[in-house]
Amino acid sequence: MEEDTGPKFTTSFLKKEVPKSDQAKELLNWCYVLAKYNEGTSGNLSFRTENGCIITGTGTDLGKATIYDLVEVTGFNEEKKEIQAKGIKEPSSEAFLHLKIYQKIGKINAVFHGHTLDIPNVPVTDKEYPYGTLELADSVADLAEKTNFLIAKNHGFFSLGRTMDDAGKQIINKIN
Ligand SMILES: [Zn+2]
């Protein structure tokens, strides 16, 4: 399941500029690492900020990501299906899924997602939902309350961590 077909929500840009954060470089480094472990170079990575999270933009090739691919997501209106963001690119179609996890689980500060499915002994969500839907976001966020590493059925894995290092190393351990 690819996410390159574009987001299923509208984005309201509060500011059309690259988000500033000291941690952006760390996120980009994990993008490059995961491009090697992940199946293909699609997926999305984020870390918590004061206002929401900074996440890779839609259709980002993780192996070639730059600062211009990063977007800060500061809010989501479920009724209007509208994301508030600061950045140049549209945020990943799973941006509000990431946001949901941060809102629900206070100790999680990094969420990394890729599309490798062949990982043994990992909890899997009960039902398959299309990417970018509220149902997918809810099913992942619910299971994420019980485990830091999970698979969204027939879609891909989500690795959650207190730090980016935790989320990233967890993937390397599970996939190797
Ligand atoms: Zn995905």
Phi, psi dihedral angles at 157 (to 5 degrees): -100, 160
Query: Are the C-beta atoms of 108 and 133 separated by less than 8 Å?
Result: no
Q: Where are the domains of the chain?
A: 10-175
Q: Cβ contacts of residue 101 below 8 Å, gap of 6+?
A: 108, 111, 140, 141, 144, 158, 160
Q: What is the pLDDT of residues 27-76, one digit of tens each?
A: 999 999 999 887 778 899 999 999 999 999 999 999 999 999 999 999 99
Q: Mean pLDDT over residues 88-105, rounded?
A: 94
Q: What is the pLDDT of residue 39?
A: 75
Q: How far is the CA of 106 from the centre of ligand 1 (A)?
A: 23
Q: Cβ contacts of residue 36 below 8 Å, gap of 6+?
A: 63
| C-alpha–C-alpha distance, residues 45 and 65, integer Å | 11
On the question of pLDDT at 98 being above 50, the answer is: yes
Summary mean pLDDT of the chain = 92
Q: What is the pLDDT of residues 101-134, one digit of tens each?
A: 999 999 999 999 999 999 999 999 999 999 888 9
Q: Mapping DSSP to helix (H, G, I), strand (E, B) and coil, where does residue 82 land?
A: strand
Phi, psi dihedral angles at 167 (to 5 degrees): -65, -40
Q: How far is the CA of 129 from the centre of ligand 1 (A)?
A: 11
| C-alpha–C-alpha distance, residues 117 and 157, integer Å | 7
Q: How far is the CA of 19 from the centre of ligand 1 (A)?
A: 23
Q: How confident is the model at residue 7 (pLDDT cuts 50, 70, 90)?
A: low
Q: How far is the CA of 1 from the centre of ligand 1 (A)?
A: 7
Q: What share of the chain in percent tops pLDDT 90?
A: 83
Per CATH, the number for 10-175 is: 3.40.225.10
Q: What is the pLDDT of residues 132-151, one digit of tens each?
A: 889 999 999 999 999 999 99
On the question of pLDDT at 1 being above 80, the answer is: no
In this structure, what DSSP letter does residue 9 have?
A: S
Q: What is the CA radius of gyration of the chain?
A: 14
Distances from the Cα of 37 to the Cαs of 57, 99, 118, in angstroms?
A: 20, 24, 12
